[in-house]
Amino acid sequence: MASTVGKVIKCKAAVAWEAGKPLVIEEVEVAPPQAMEVRIKILFTSLCHTDVYFWEAKGQNPVFPRIFGHEAGGIVESVGEGVTELAPGDHVLPVFTGECKECAHCKSAESNMCDLLRINTDRGVMIGDGQSRFSINGKPIFHFVGTSTFSEYTVIHEGCVAKINPAAPLDKVCVLSCGISTGLGATINVAKPPKGSTVAIFGLGAVGLAAAEGARLAGASRIIGVDLNSDRFEAARKFGCTEFVNPKEHTKPVQQVLAEMTNGGVDRSVECTGNINAMIQAFECVHDGWGVAVLVGVPHKDAEFKTHPMNFLNERTLRGTFFGNYKPRTDLPSVVEKYMSGELELDKFITHSVPFSEINTAFDLMLKGESLRCIIRMDE
């Protein structure tokens, strides 16, 4: 890679030219990294529902043409001025949020919401100079959440890159750079279920299943999956779910169903749908006195959370989380080590794999609800 340092790299990228239209594999020019930036050769990337959501652009500001992608694994090709913790050849995971290590949030043991580098879905340029590092025939192509991993090379702020064990297989651990870590951390770091406790998981997509996996690792005795699609129940057993509730199959509110199943309510609940009704149900289903509900899903911008204040006065706790409360640079390497030691299982999250040329297949699989995670092999 030494021959490309300081030079513009021409490579392939999957460009979204407009909302909801298939991505187009184009030759793009990727500029060298500037101060506090690194240029990374992406080897494997996966598709997260967040990519699909912003590609559809139904509820947010459309920013096009754009290179999506934010779950990935790669190798540092070169670094910009001021970068001290990364070097060419390092194996890394890009992350959609960051850790500058200097702000009040980064210095707090209780927060991972970096003032400088927290997610900004509207920004399509680099934070340093307000310019894009991608172009086609001189025309800029916009970035996505600071990562843009649907490109053979990408440029990312140093604070959004986690250096990991080079022995870790990038085609597996790449899924830790977003959804799996979010669900896992929501349970382990935020809900913190005691051993032997009862946990309800609302939504059994990839993030919800990762939350169930976290409950399994924590030693929960009952893990109740709640989903409107009963077809998901059998697969969820592999992630530790022991029982299931489909709200459509009950005449009572699901929080009441869960309370009756668990002698007054579950000890912990984790909501992974973004549906405001599920959020309210997840809170109201926890036991009074000690129950904790954790919200992970992102609701509609006009949604309102409504519950009776007595639910709080009766000592139920409601919490939210962002990226599972993991600090990307500090904490992700240890999550990778959980996989390397065999404690954390990742293979069961990966249901499909396609070459880069067939990236639109990954979108089709997710839109049909047929995949959890589809790995995209960049070198094919």
- Output the pLDDT for position 60: 73
pLDDT, mean over the chain: 96
pLDDT above 80: residue 34: yes
The mean pLDDT value for 367-380 works out to 93
- Output the pLDDT for position 1: 64
Contact 270, 224 (CB under 8 A): no
- Output the pLDDT for position 61: 79
The mean pLDDT value for 200-206 works out to 97
Q: Which two tokens stand for residue 70?
A: 């934010």
The mean pLDDT value for 133-154 works out to 98
Question: In this predicted structure, which of 56-65, 210-219, 275-284, 300-309 has the lowest mean pLDDT?
Answer: 56-65
- Output the pLDDT for position 89: 98
The mean pLDDT value for 270-281 works out to 97
pLDDT above 90: residue 300: no
Contact 191, 333 (CB under 8 A): no
Which are the catalytic amino acids? 48-50, 70-71, 100, 103, 106, 114, 118, 178, 373
pLDDT above 80: residue 352: yes
pLDDT range class, residue 134, cuts 50, 70, 90: very high
pLDDT range class, residue 302, cuts 50, 70, 90: confident
Question: In this predicted structure, which of 44-48, 52-56, 73-77, 80-84 has the lowest mean pLDDT?
Answer: 52-56
Length of the chain: 380
pLDDT above 80: residue 151: yes
The mean pLDDT value for 208-222 works out to 98
